[in-house]
Structure 1
Amino acid sequence: METTVYASLFRWLAMVELPVLGGMFWFVWRARRDNDVALADHRRLVDASMGRLRENFAAYKLDVAKNYASISYLKDVERRLTGHLLRIETKLDRRPGQAEARS
């Protein structure tokens, strides 16, 4: 009877367990290989996108440096506008006094 138990156990291992384990091993190996390929493709796409992003950002910084006013120029414009506004304010402050003197 013991030989039949061992024989049936051996048949069970040979007919069911080994093919199932082999299939699981193949499935895991294939999934890992596919994931490695997908990861390599994704890494390549991300690197290319980052390169384009760096180039576009450098071009934008160059455009800003060329086309926008510098701080010294803005300070000069602010100083001139302030001077003009102060002169206008002085003229407006003198007008009411002159109108009262005429009356």
Structure 2
Amino acid sequence: MLHDVEVVAQAGVGARDGKVKAELAVNWINPLNADHTLMLQAATGEDDGWSNRLGARWHWRLGRRQALVGSVTGIRLAGSSAHAPGIERRSSVAWSTALLYSF
């Protein structure tokens, strides 16, 4: 049941502000066939406040050296981060697409 699931924990110190930043994520990787892979992610992290994230990424291998990657991510600020001065929105959605070429 837990095939192709990975748990990722990251921690570091910001180069500019010296603050500790941390994230915990769970990724579920589902190879649909030889050329298509779907990855779903749930994450929470602390980087100038707490945020929660849900995302999906689709990887399509076009050829031996080319791939097309598309992703969509929803982010929601939590706790005191959501009510901090200057915060206009607690939630946002970002999407991206990329054409990769391997040398």
TM-score, with length taken from structure 2? 0.15
Higher relative contact order (CA 8 A, sep 6+): 2
More strand by share: 2
More helix by share: 1
TM-score, with length taken from structure 1? 0.15
* Structure whose CA Rg is larger: 1
